[in-house]
Amino acid sequence: MEKRHWRCFVCNDIHHGVAPPGLCPTCKVPNAYVEVSAAEARRIVGGGADTSLAPDEFRTALERFAAGNEFRLNPDRERVDLLLRGVFENERRYGLKFCPCRVRTKDWEEDLRIVCPCNFTVHETYQGAPGGACWCGLFVRRT
């Protein structure tokens, strides 16, 4: 199923999915989403203030994301630091936190699949043996 872009007519929340949410998670208005083009969605999202996360804030965000999940940040701190440097360098160069160990296709929709953290639980490197990890080893299975 193809994902499309939807905009809340009340608060301009943007949703990217196969269907709009029944309830806007931001302003809580029901049936609020209208379909918009990808270009319009990008312009709306890009029109906000520059609120990029600092590296430490991003690390904390990833730790919160992993808490309660079957995975966690790799306990190898040096490796995590190296990967996060790559993630931030990609953001500086290309505007999004692209995966530090994969190559962009330059197709916007396709490249959204490698924004970190990606959907790594489907990676064979994660699914295979115990001790699985995301493609780069930023996240590992809890043992």
Exactly one of 73, 114, 132, 140 binds ligand SF4 (CB under 6 A); that residue is 114
Of 20-28, 33-41, 51-59, 133-141, the window that binds ligand SF4 (rule: CB under 6 A) is 133-141
Please give the full DSSP string across the chain, using - where no structure is assigned: ---EEEEETTT--EEEESS--SB-TTT--BT-EEEE-HHHHHHHHHTS---PPPHHHHHHHHHHHHTTSSEEE-S-HHHHHHHHHHHHHHHHHHSS-B-TTS---S-HHHHGGGBSS--GGGSHHHHSSTT-B-TTSSEEE--
Size of the site for ligand SF4 (CB under 6 A): 14
Exactly one of 41, 99, 132, 140 binds ligand SF4 (CB under 6 A); that residue is 99
Closer of 9 and 58 to ligand SF4 (Cβ): 58
Closer of 21 and 117 to ligand SF4 (Cβ): 117
Q: Is 140 in the site for ligand SF4 (CB under 6 A)?
A: no
